[in-house]
Amino acid sequence: MEISELIPGLPDEIGRECLLRLPFDAFRTAHAVCKIWKHDVESPTFHRLRKSAGLSRPVVALVLSDPPPIAAAANAKCYFPSPLLYRIALFEPATGAWSSPPMIPGCPHGLPLFCQLAAVGRELVVIGGWDPRTWAATDEVHVYDLVSGVWRRGARMPGPRRSFFACTAAAERRVVFVAGGHDESKNALRSALAYDVAADAWVPLPDMVRPRDECRGVFAGGAFRVVGGYPTEAQGQFSRSVEAFDLAAWRWGAVEERGRLEEAASPRACVVGGEGKLYMCGEAGEVTVLEEGGEGRWQRLAELPRDLRAALQMVAWEEGLMVLGSGVHGGTQVAYVLDLGHQERKGLKWRKVELPREYSGHVHAGCCFQI
């Protein structure tokens, strides 16, 4: 029998109010209940209503390793050069709940090592990285729909197979940007690309002014900004400069030599949060913030907890920051959340996040989406 009501016996307005209040990790189940629920939870109108009613929540997506090393058995058919298996973990700051999407079909060895992760609407996009069996760079793209719970393969990333590139998303435009990194001969790259997630198509962007390896990508103020990095001849000597690609003008602006980065160091823990503010974890053990229109002056926001000093990763959303890392390289993984809210900065306090053992591995990449 065909169901014509969202919830039999209730007006659709009330039925929809019930669906709007589902936690995000229940959407996959709701999607499979019946055609009318599937149509509703897939609808952009449904998610706009959820957001306007204040029911959407930030969810942090992380690429992390399983905590115990995975040793290859003596009689195994495949050899694993890497002892780690990487996967995606999802964390909801409001509830402290952790969950994991299913593994990518056909990828039993986990995500590519050093892959990049971006959030576009209700989808997570995994780009590039190294094949965990051979350590060869890959140009593969995988897209996960958080509502249907289904993975699909995206169009391969064109051009040279790059590693350690800048990657970020303009969520409202449903576009992921890629720039820099290095090719398979370790040459730093100037080239840049844009991936239209809905059209499953790549578009080349003009080259950056400078080649940038191990750079960071952020999107703010209508521009794709590529932060830091270094050229081939200056391995590991990070620049403080930034280049910004203006989407409206379709060109790169002048190189900003100083001011955008507080220090010449790896910009891995550099993110954009609410209102276009740029946050960064400094080597002095503190989080600093650069506000748009702030004349390039960084301000101290908060001191990092003492057990957060090495291998730092940071993710930001409208009213909060999450920092993950350890006290020393190779140490125990910890995570903290800083609730920015509407409090005075002097009253900000870190909240330690409970890490279940299965989510206590090393974090390589992260992003945040609102659902």
Highest average pLDDT, of 91-95, 177-181, 332-336, 366-370, comes from 177-181
Residue 103 binned pLDDT confidence (cut-offs 50, 70, 90): very high
Q: What is the pLDDT of residue 320?
A: 92
The mean per-residue pLDDT over the stretch 20-44 comes to 83
pLDDT at residue 315, as a whole number:
94
pLDDT at position 75, please?
46
**HEC profile for the chain?**
CCCCCCCCCCCHHHHHHHHHCCCHHHHHHHHCCCHHHHHHHHCHHHHHHHHHCCCCCEEEEEEEECCCCCCCCCCCCCCCCCCCCEEEEEEECCCCEEECCCCCCCCCCCECECCEEEEECCEEEEECCECCCCCCECCCEEEEECCCCEEEEECCCCCCCCECCEEEEEHHHCEEEEECCECCCCCECCCEEEEECCCCEEEEECCCCCCCECCEEEEECCEEEEECCECHHHCCCCCCCEEEEECCCCEECCCECCCCCCCCCCHHHEEECHHHCEEEECCCCEEEEECCCCCCCCEEEEECCCCCCEEEEEEEECCEEEEEEECCCCCCCEEEEEECCCCCHHHCCEEECCCCHHHCCCEEEEEEEEC
Task: Select from 219, 293, 209 the least CA-distant residue to 256.
Answer: 209
Q: How confident is the model at residue 91 (pLDDT cuts 50, 70, 90)?
A: very high
> What pLDDT shows up at residue 115?
96
Q: Averaged over 64-75, what is the pLDDT?
A: 60
| Domains contained in the chain, CATH given | 1-56 (no CATH), 57-370 (2.120.10.80)
More confident residue, 88 or 40: 88
What is the tens place of the pLDDT at every residue in 278-310? Answer: 888 876 788 888 865 445 677 888 899 999 988
Lowest mean pLDDT among 27-41, 146-160, 204-218: 27-41
